[in-house]
Structures are given as structure tokens and as C-alpha cells.
Structure 1
Amino acid sequence: MLFEAETWVAVAFLILLGVFGYFGVHRTILQALDHRRDRIQKELDDARRLKDEAVKLVAEYRARRESAEREAQDIVESAKAEAERIAVEAKAKMEDFVARRTKSAENKIAQAEMQAIADVRAAAADAAVYAASSVLSQTVRGQIADSLLDKGIKDVREKLN
């Protein structure tokens, strides 16, 4: 057992551990492990903090998006209401315009009819006066003819106009 390689490996290992213990290598290794643990813990804390910030940002952006969607919906509804109001207003204006134009056209037609009637009456009166004057001038002569002619023309004009 004294000459076996495993024994000497175990003895060398124990001597190595003793040398390490004497020079304080175990403390250095423990410090390195502690530093590594602290660094990993810090990274985990940073990761948690970043995760919390990301969750907050996601919630904030969702709230902003919902707010923007509500605002967009309000704008769309407002635009629809405004468009309907403008359409109703335009329809009312168009109906008013058509009614005024119709009334104006009816007035013009009525004036034209009255003018035509007046023109026809004047033409008829002139024709009657001309006919009466030519009949009377051929049948009646003198002062009586002139007074009858004037009276007849006056009567015809009053009745026809």
C-alpha cells in the first residue's frame, strides 16, 4: 500500500491542501466565490429592476394606446356627427334654395302671364277702337260722330283695361 500510486497521490493532495491552507488560498477562493455571488446577485437584481421597468412601460404604453384609441374613436364620432350636421344643413339650404328659385320662377311666370294678358287686352282694345272708329267714321259724320267716337274709345279702354 505504501508503494501504490494512489497513496502517493492522496499524500500529495493532502500536502497541497495544507500548503493552500497555510498561504490562505482557501480565503482567496472564498472571496472570489463571494465576489462572483455578489456580482450574480447584482445582475439578478438589475434584471428584476429592468423587468419591473419593462412591465411598467408596457402598462404605460397600453394605457397610452387605449387612450389614443379612445381619442381616435371620439374624433371619428365627432367627424361623423359634424358630417351629418353639415349634410342636414346643406339639405336644408338646398331645399330653401329650390323653394326660392321655384317661387321666383312662379312669380316670373305670373308676371309674364299678366303682361301677356295686358298685351292681349291692349291689342284687343286697340283693335276694337280701330274697328269702332272705322265703323263709326263710315256711318256717322260730324260733331255727333266725334263725341260718340271719343266716348266709345273711352268706354272700350276702361272695360278692357
Structure 2
Amino acid sequence: MTTIQTPEFWVAVGFLLLIGLIAKPAWKGITGSLDSRSEKIKATLDEAASLREEVQHLLADYQRKQRDVAREVDEILANASAEAEHFSKEASEELAEALKRREDLAMEKIAQAEAEAMQAVRESAIDLAISATQRVLKDQLNEATAEKLIDNAIAELPDKLH
């Protein structure tokens, strides 16, 4: 018997045909499934790359914003320091002016008090001189001398008025 006539040969041929018939659609299914899985993986990788690029842009934006905010903070601190120095200088000048005004006012009050004291001393000296003169005149002036002094004073009056 030849190999073609043996049942094993025909079982092998049938098996190979069966495998060939099953393998072609199965191969298409397997390759299709693998291709679709490959496409999904590629899409996922593309999406991940896109997200990574977007995250890189966001990171760059936030870093730029952080630098801008740091610069603004430095500017605000510099301005606040300058304003504080200005206000301090202004307050110091205003305090010096207020102290000068108070000193001037105190000096004016002292001068006024001195003038009032001098006036009081003068008035007191005048009163004292008048009182002393009255006593001296009372003690040393007689009636004839008094009339003579009065007549002289009346005579000199027109000369003093003009």
C-alpha cells in the first residue's frame, strides 16, 4: 500500500486542509484583533504625547507666571519701602515744623510775658516815683513855692502844646 492509500495519510491531509481552512479566517481575526489593539495602543500613545506636550506648555506658562509674580512682588516691596521712607521723612519734617511752631509760640509767650513784666515794673516804678515825689514835695514844698511852680507850669503850657 502506498502512502496515499493509508488512512493516516488521509487523516493528515484532512487535518491540514482543516487547519488551512480554519487558519485563514482565524489568521484574519487574530491579525485584525492585533491590528485594532495596535491602533488603540498607538492612539493611546498619541494622546499621551499630546497630553505631555500640553502639560509642558502649561508648566512653561506657570513658570513664566511665577517669574512675573515674583517680579511684581519685588516691585511692590520696593514701592512699599520707598513709600514708607517717604512717609517717614514727611512725618519727620512735619514733626520738626510742629516743634518749630511750638518753640516760636513759646518764645512769643515768653517775650509777651517779659513785656508785661517790664510794663508792670515800669508802672510800679512810676507809682513809686510819684509817691516818693509827693512825699518829698509835701515835706519840702511850702505854699509860696507851690504857687510859683504852678504859675511857671501854666506859662510853659502853650509852648509845650505847639
TM-score bracket relative to the smaller structure: 0.7 to 0.9
Q: Do the aligned partners of residues 106 and 143 (structure 1) sit closer, same or farther apart at CA in structure 2, a change above 3 Å counting?
A: farther
Residues 65-84 of structure 1: pairs in structure 2 closer than 5 A: 65-84=66-85
The 2-side partners of 1:15 and 1:144 are apart by 182
**Which residue identity does 1:36 align to in structure 2?**
R
Are 2:36 and 1:18 equivalent residues in the alignment? Answer: no
Larger-gyration structure (1/2): 2
Tell me the residue number matched to 1:93: 94
* Runs of 4+ more than 6 Å apart: none
SS of residue paired to 2:142: coil
- Unaligned ranges ≥5, structure 1: 1-10, 152-161
Cα offsets for 1:17-51 (capped at 9, x unmatched): 324225x1100111100000000000000000000
The 2-side partners of 1:16 and 1:99 are apart by 119
**Which residue identity does 2:22 align to in structure 1?**
F
TM-score, scaled to structure 1: 0.78
Superposed displacement of residue 15, structure 1? 6.0
Tell me the residue number matched to 1:128: 129
Superposed displacement of residue 139, structure 1? 1.4
Tell me the residue number matched to 2:106: 105
Tell me the residue number matched to 1:27: 28
Indicate the RMSD between aligned Cα atoms, in angstroms. 2.3
User: Which fold has the larger relative contact order, with Cα–Cα distance below 8 Å and residues 6 or more apart in sequence?
Assistant: 1
Superposed displacement of residue 16, structure 1? 5.9
Cα offsets for 1:85-121 (capped at 9, x unmatched): 0111111111111111101101110110111011111
Cα offsets for 1:45-94 (capped at 9, x unmatched): 00000000001101100111111111111111101100100111111111
Q: Do the aligned partners of residues 13 and 77 (structure 1) sit closer, same or farther apart at CA in structure 2, a change above 3 Å counting?
A: farther
The 2-side partners of 1:52 and 1:90 are apart by 56
Tell me the residue number matched to 2:41: 40
The 2-side partners of 1:52 and 1:128 are apart by 112
Superposed displacement of residue 135, structure 1? 1.3
SS of residue paired to 1:72: helix
The 2-side partners of 1:80 and 1:44 are apart by 53
Aligned residues: 139
